[in-house]
């Protein structure tokens, strides 16, 4: 297929957190609000005068400082974030929003406070950390909404005078939904047997929509969507197996490239930093406030293994199964970041359930944040693809 016009531009933007568009938005006087976790609603960080930046640590080759502070037995993603923040890589931020959802991630964020990071560049910088429920009862939704108000909206209003009214949140939801529309339509194209977008390209676009000021990237994303709609595909699809990828944090498109090199087409990105969930429309129901809608949306759509109630456990399995069906997938790949407690158990249970209960080919792998163990991963992925091909040849039903 012909290369996408803006792909190289998008790839460049992903090379650093403080990229060209982030700098431009800051120069426009907008506040850069950092976050990593889905429980911090992206939409609220895009209220008027602000823009969200989902933090990554691209190109982190060593984590000496992060390892000193957090030891080498903690999540490499969080150590990389810590490394980058200690190096000053996030000094452009006006605030950092976090939640005590994952022990290692929130610890890494706490260093903003412990070390007084960013404060020298911006004395108004603050870290705000909220509590998130483990279940989805009525009281839990109310609690989450209260936490959003107390730990995101009120600090924004107090420190930066951000308009946090219902009207402002509705406007932010409107803009958020526009981005979601673009990414979702691109994502839907992956359902086709010969998709006009590669899984790598989609990953780049999804990341760019999270890491760049959305008001500045929207036009190019829209342009790309139009380009993809009209794109002439290759005569035959260039993959051997269609796979749903689920798991913990995947913010490096090189990983998706590795999968593609092994013959995988990632039909659905059901991992942290992916679009499923993340790029669904936020719907405001009749009679509810915009904030209530946001709270309901993020809590109900979250696929985080942290949710303990049975309904959510069932939801995670059935959602995966639904993705396999909707995207005509041949199998599921569970990815677990090394040292991730949540996804290590989820991977164990999920791989078992997919294979033994649902009869869907599934493997689970552990990965580093960087592509350090690419060789080993390649072997695993190639073997998985071959097993799927053999199963197809033997007439096994998917």
Partner 1 sequence: MKKKLLIGALSVVPLSMLIYWFNLDNKLLYYGVRPILNKVYNSYQRNVSL
Partner 2 sequence: MADERKRFYKGSGIAKHREWRGLKDTFYDYLQWVVNLGILAQFAAKSPVRIVKGLFEYRWFGGYIGALHMTDKCTAGLRGPALRTAHIQMHAIMKGTTGMLADSMIGDRRFGDTDAADKFVMLEQTMCPEIVAGFPNLKALPLEVLQGLLGTYMDQNLAPFYMDIMENVGLPADSCRLSANAAGVAINDDYPEVGACLITNNMPCDSSTMNSQLIERRIKIPTTVAGIPMRWEDESTDRYALAQMKEVIKFIEDTTGEKFDEKAFFKVMKQHNKEVRNEFEVWEYAKTPYTAFGNVISPLFHAFYFTFSGGSMPYIDKAAKKALKVAEKAYKNKTVSFDKARHRMITWGGPGCYFVDFNTWAYNCWGVLVPAQMDMFSGNVIISEDDLDDALLGIAHNYERGVMRRHLTGGYQHLLEVWDEAEKFNCDMVLVYDDITCKGAMGLAGVVNDQAKDKNKHLVWVQNDMFDHRTISRNEMRRQFSEYMTAVMQEEPLDESLVDFDDYEGW
Q: What is the spatial distance between Cα 384 and Cα 244, in angstroms, rounded to a whole number?
A: 13
- Cβ of residue 272: shortest distance to partner 1, in angstroms? 24
260 is a contact residue toward partner 2 (CB under 8 A): no
- Cβ of residue 346: shortest distance to partner 1, in angstroms? 12
Helical packing angle, 341-352 and 310-326, nearest 10° = 60
Binding residue for partner 1, selected from 114, 115, 348, 383, defined by CB under 8 A: 348
Q: Please list the residues that pair with 195 across neighbouring strands.
A: none
Binding residue for partner 2, selected from 110, 157, 358, 389, defined by CB under 8 A: 110
Contact 319, 303 (CB under 8 A): yes
100 is a contact residue toward partner 2 (CB under 8 A): yes
- Looking at the Cβ atoms of 85 and 147, the one nearer to partner 2 is 147
135 is a contact residue toward partner 2 (CB under 8 A): yes
Question: Which residues, numbered 107-166, are part of the site for partner 1 (CB under 8 A)?
Answer: none
HEC string for 56-117? CCCCCCCCHHHHHHHCCCCCHHHHHHHHHHHCCCCCCCCEEEEECCCHHHHHHHHHHHHCCC
Q: Which two tokens stand for residue 140?
A: 């839990």
291 is a contact residue toward partner 2 (CB under 8 A): no
Q: Which two tokens stand for residue 370?
A: 């960087």
Q: What is the spatial distance between Cα 187 and Cα 190, in angstroms, rounded to a whole number?
A: 6
Length of the chain: 398
DSSP structure class, residue 355: I
- Cβ of residue 348: shortest distance to partner 2, in angstroms? 5
- Looking at the Cβ atoms of 289 and 309, the one nearer to partner 2 is 309
- Looking at the Cβ atoms of 184 and 309, the one nearer to partner 2 is 309
Q: What is the spatial distance between Cα 55 and Cα 298, in angstroms, rounded to a whole number?
A: 19
- Cβ of residue 356: shortest distance to partner 1, in angstroms? 8
- Cβ of residue 354: shortest distance to partner 1, in angstroms? 12
Binding residue for partner 1, selected from 7, 349, 365, 398, defined by CB under 8 A: 349
Contact 17, 211 (CB under 8 A): yes
Taking CA atoms, 197 is separated from 213, 260, 342, in Å, by 23, 12, 31
Binding residue for partner 1, selected from 352, 359, 379, 396, defined by CB under 8 A: 352
- Cβ of residue 313: shortest distance to partner 2, in angstroms? 6
- Looking at the Cβ atoms of 140 and 398, the one nearer to partner 2 is 140
Stretch of 37-45, 72-80, 270-278, 323-331 contacting partner 2, by CB under 8 A: 72-80
Contact 19, 216 (CB under 8 A): no
Q: Where are the beta strands (DSSP E) in 113-190?
A: 126-130
DSSP structure class, residue 162: -
Q: What is the spatial distance between Cα 250 and Cα 252, in angstroms, rounded to a whole number?
A: 6
355 is a contact residue toward partner 2 (CB under 8 A): no
Q: List residues binding partner 2 (CB under 8 A).
A: 68-71, 73-75, 78, 100, 102-104, 107-108, 110, 113-114, 129-135, 137, 139-140, 142-143, 146-147, 150, 305-306, 308-310, 313, 336, 338-339, 341-342, 344-349, 351-352, 364, 366
Q: List residues binding partner 1 (CB under 8 A).
A: 348-349, 352-353, 356
């Amino acid at each position: 297929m012909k290369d996408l016009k803006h792909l190289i531009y998008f790839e460049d933007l992903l090379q650093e957190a403080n990229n060209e568009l982030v700098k431009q938005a800051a120069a426009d006087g907008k506040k850069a609000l950092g976050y990593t976790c889905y429980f911090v609603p992206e939409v609220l960080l895009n209220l008027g005068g602000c823009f969200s930046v989902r933090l990554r640590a691209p190109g982190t080759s060593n984590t000496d400082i992060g390892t000193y502070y957090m030891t080498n037995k903690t999540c490499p993603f969080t150590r990389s974030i810590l490394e980058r923040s200690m190096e000053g890589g996030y000094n452009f931020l006006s605030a950092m929003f976090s939640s005590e959802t994952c022990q290692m991630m929130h610890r890494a964020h706490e260093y903003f406070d412990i070390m007084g990071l960013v404060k020298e560049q911006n004395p108004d910088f603050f870290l705000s950390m909220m509590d998130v429920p483990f279940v989805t009862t009525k009281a839990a939704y109310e609690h989450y909404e209260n936490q959003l108000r107390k730990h995101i909206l009120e600090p924004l209003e107090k420190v930066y005078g951000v308009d946090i009214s219902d009207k402002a949140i509705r406007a932010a939801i409107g803009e958020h939904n526009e981005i979601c529309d673009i990414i979702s339509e691109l994502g839907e194209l992956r359902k086709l047997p010969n998709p006009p977008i590669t899984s790598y390209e989609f990953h780049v676009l999804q990341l760019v929509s999270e890491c760049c000021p959305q008001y500045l990237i929207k036009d190019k994303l829209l342009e790309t969507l139009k380009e993809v709609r009209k794109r002439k595909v290759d005569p035959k699809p260039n993959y051997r197996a269609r796979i749903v990828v689920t798991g913990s944090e995947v913010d490096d498109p090189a990983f998706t490239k590795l999968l593609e090199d092994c013959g995988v087409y990632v039909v659905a990105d059901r991992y942290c930093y992916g679009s499923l969930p993340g790029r669904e429309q936020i719907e405001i129901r009749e009679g509810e406030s915009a904030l209530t809608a946001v709270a309901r949306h993020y809590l109900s759509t979250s696929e985080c293994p942290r949710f303990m109630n049975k309904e959510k456990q069932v939801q995670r399995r059935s959602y995966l199964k639904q993705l396999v069906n909707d995207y005509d997938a041949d199998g599921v790949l569970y990815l677990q970041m090394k040292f991730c407690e949540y996804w290590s158990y989820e991977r164990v249970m999920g791989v078992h359930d997919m294979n033994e209960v649902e009869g869907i080919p599934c493997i689970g792998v552990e990965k580093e944040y960087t592509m350090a163990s690419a060789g080993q991963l390649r072997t695993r992925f190639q073997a998985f693809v071959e097993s799927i091909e053999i199963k197809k040849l033997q007439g096994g039903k998917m």
